[in-house]
């Protein structure tokens, strides 16, 4: 794949189109996204973005119910799904080249002609409430939400994407439709076609996604996150479980910050693979956890990093101590050339393997189109990773691994204080 082999088009008053042709893969992914998610929601609309995603699978004018919609997709042998994040919502269909027009027809139908019936809305309330319960009952899932609550507090980034049960119960269909009509407009949409795409793709997009009526909206953006006075934060959720879930990390950098490249490599070195420092220390040497990993999560205006692990209640303090020791070790000692080269090779190999999948490419370019100042390809990001130095990694560690920038989240059967002094 050539580094710049994608084509970007902007249809007047219509969607932004990204074409990523790959003739050597059999699949094609059509992804339609809008740059709106839970961080755009006010307090009386928590969970609305996620609710819309559910409701769009309940039937359209041409496909009047869920069965009609999903049966047509199943007959194509397609993989299809949707997801809501804090900053975007996306719908995708993975199929083969000859089904491209049908995939666009279905997604257009869902976007613009969903029925959004009262009876479906009321039934789906119960479904979403059960989904919220499922996440909260599973500490392995819920720890991510608890960690962002710890980091971002009352800001919308600290709220659950699904909303809380009380939010869903009081949400009205009228408010949901107002929100949908505000953001699900042709000129807000990003469409990515990745894989073995048809030569007439642009014409098909115009056919199915060209504006049908004058765009009117009362659009509101999100409230940017502004970090308050630095201080260590801790949040625990008391739950009777045999294994305690830990998330330890802090605030990092926004989407377009170049420091995300050394931070990404640092995450690989500390907790990105089975030979990473934390895996060897926490699991192999100390036997404290079955899994331990580190990753980063970035938004348009902020970001975060964290280490996650599941440990026995009696070993929580030791596990946290070991993680902190590795944090502070990077601040004191430069990463060796051999270690940074292994991480770079891992990053390159993993990315190139993912590039074989049309759904990865579609999701990657959609996010770049929505949040990057300049769209970069996966290969261009690899080149930036290759230029990262041990000194840059240490500089990032010194900036981020400060006690007043760290936050600790725990889910487990706690009584009283967990730590007298964490540092």
| 197 and 259 both lie in a single domain | no
Is 418 a domain residue?
no
Q: Quick check: helix, strand or coil at residue 235?
A: strand
Tens-digit pLDDT profile for residues 124-150: 999 999 999 999 999 999 999 999 999
Pick the range with the lowest mean pLDDT from 25-39, 124-138, 166-180, 207-221.
Answer: 207-221
| 201 and 153 both lie in a single domain | yes
| 256 and 188 both lie in a single domain | no
Per-residue pLDDT at 218: 72
The β-bridge partners of 191 are: 17, 32
Per-residue pLDDT at 4: 59
pLDDT over threshold 70, residue 287: yes
Per-residue pLDDT at 216: 64
Is 423 a domain residue?
no
Ramachandran region, residue 96 (left: φ > 0; alpha: ψ -120 to 50; beta: rest): beta
Is 227 a domain residue?
no
What is the C-alpha separation between 389 and 387, in angstroms, rounded?
6
Per-residue pLDDT at 217: 65
Secondary structure percentages of the chain, helix, strand, coil, to 5: 50, 20, 35
Is 292 a domain residue?
yes
| 290 and 345 both lie in a single domain | yes
C-alpha distance across the termini of the chain, in Å? 48
Closest to 20 in 3D by CA, of 191, 195, 190, 189: 195
Tens-digit pLDDT profile for residues 68-87: 999 999 999 999 999 999 99
Q: Which two tokens stand for residue 308?
A: 């996650």
What confidence tier does 12 reach under pLDDT thresholds 50, 70, 90? confident
Q: What is the mean pLDDT of residues 98-122?
A: 97
Is residue 362 within 8 A of residue 6, CB to CB? The reply is no
pTM score = 0.95
Per-residue pLDDT at 178: 94
Average pLDDT of the chain, as a whole number: 95
Q: Which two tokens stand for residue 31?
A: 């992804």
Q: What is the mean pLDDT of residues 213-223?
A: 73
What confidence tier does 212 reach under pLDDT thresholds 50, 70, 90? low
What is the C-alpha separation between 127 and 295, in angstroms, rounded?
30
Residue 239's Cβ-count burial label (10 Å; 0-12, 13-18, 19+) is: middle
| 205 and 240 both lie in a single domain | no
Domain containing residue 143: CATH number = 3.30.830.10
| 264 and 405 both lie in a single domain | yes
What is the C-alpha separation between 21 and 101, in angstroms, rounded?
16
Could you give the angle at the alpha carbon of 18 between the alpha carbons of 14 and 22, nearest 5°? 145
What is the C-alpha separation between 248 and 317, in angstroms, rounded?
12
| 30 and 154 both lie in a single domain | yes
Is residue 422 within 8 A of residue 408, CB to CB? The reply is yes
Total of domains in the chain:
2
| 264 and 187 both lie in a single domain | no
- Secondary structure element (H or E) that encloses residue 375, with its range: none
Is 385 a domain residue?
yes
What confidence tier does 210 reach under pLDDT thresholds 50, 70, 90? confident
Domain boundary residue among 209, 241, 259? Answer: 209
Per-residue pLDDT at 214: 56
Is 225 a domain residue?
no
Per-residue pLDDT at 213: 63
Is 258 a domain residue?
yes
Per-residue pLDDT at 50: 98
pLDDT over threshold 60, residue 3: no
The CA dihedral of 288, 344, 251, 285, to the nearest 10 degrees, is 10
| 268 and 173 both lie in a single domain | no
Tens-digit pLDDT profile for residues 152-164: 999 999 999 999 9
What confidence tier does 215 reach under pLDDT thresholds 50, 70, 90? low
Structural domain boundaries, residue 313? 233-412
Is 2 a domain residue?
no
| 203 and 242 both lie in a single domain | no
| 202 and 304 both lie in a single domain | no
Q: Which two tokens stand for residue 240?
A: 């009777």
Q: What is the mean pLDDT of residues 100-114?
A: 96
Per-residue pLDDT at 243: 96
Tens-digit pLDDT profile for residues 317-359: 999 999 999 999 999 999 999 999 999 999 999 999 999 999 9
| 260 and 384 both lie in a single domain | yes
Residue entry with tokens 């980091």: 151
Tens-digit pLDDT profile for residues 351-404: 999 999 999 999 999 999 999 999 999 999 999 999 999 999 999 999 999 999
| φ, ψ at 419 (rounded to 5°) | -125, 140
């Amino acid at each position: 794949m050539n580094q710049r082999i994608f084509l970007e088009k902007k249809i007047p008053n219509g969607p932004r189109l990204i074409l990523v042709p790959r003739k050597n893969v059999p699949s094609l992914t059509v992804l339609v996204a809008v740059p709106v998610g839970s961080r755009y929601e006010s307090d009386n609309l928590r969970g609305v973005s996620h609710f819309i995603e559910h409701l769009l699978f309940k039937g359209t004018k041409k496909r009047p119910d869920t069965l009609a919609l999903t049966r047509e997709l199943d007959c194509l042998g397609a993989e299809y799904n949707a997801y809501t994040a804090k900053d975007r919502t996306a719908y995708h269909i993975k199929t083969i080249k000859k089904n491209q027009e049908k995939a666009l027809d279905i997604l257009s139908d869902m976007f613009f002609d969903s029925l959004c019936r009262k009876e479906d809305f009321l039934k789906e309330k119960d479904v979403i409430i059960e989904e919220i319960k499922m996440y909260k009952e599973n500490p392995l899932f819920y720890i991510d939400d608890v960690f962002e609550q710890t980091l971002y507090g009352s800001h919308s980034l600290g709220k659950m994407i699904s909303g809380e049960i009380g939010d869903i119960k009081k949400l009205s269909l009228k408010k949901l439709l107002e929100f949908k009509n505000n953001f699900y407009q042709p000129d807000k949409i990003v469409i990515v076609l990745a894989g073995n795409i048809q030569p007439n793709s642009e014409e098909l997009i115009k056919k199915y996604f060209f504006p049908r009526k004058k765009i009117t909206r009362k659009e509101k953006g999100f409230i940017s996150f502004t970090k308050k006075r630095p201080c260590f934060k801790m949040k625990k959720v008391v739950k009777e479980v045999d294994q305690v879930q830990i998330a330890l990390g802090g605030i990092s950098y926004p989407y377009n910050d170049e420091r995300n490249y050394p931070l990404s490599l640092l995450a690989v070195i500390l907790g990105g693979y089975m030979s990473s420092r934390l895996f060897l220390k926490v699991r192999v040497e100390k036997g404290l956890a079955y899994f331990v990993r580190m990753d980063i999560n970035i938004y348009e205006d902020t970001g975060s990093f964290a280490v996650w692990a599941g440990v026995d209640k009696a070993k929580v303090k030791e596990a946290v101590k070991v993680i902190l020791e590795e944090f502070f070790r990077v601040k004191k000692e430069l990463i060796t050339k051999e270690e940074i080269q292994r991480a770079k090779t891992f990053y390159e190999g993993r990315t190139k393997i993912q590039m074989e999948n049309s759904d990865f490419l579609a999701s990657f370019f959609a996010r770049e189109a929505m949040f990057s100042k300049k769209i970069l390809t996966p290969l261009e990001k690899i080149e930036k990773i290759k230029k990262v130095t041990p000194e840059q990694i240490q500089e990032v560690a010194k900036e981020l691994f400060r006690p007043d920038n760290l936050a600790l989240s725990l889910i487990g059967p706690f009584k009283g204080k967990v730590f007298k002094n964490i540092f």
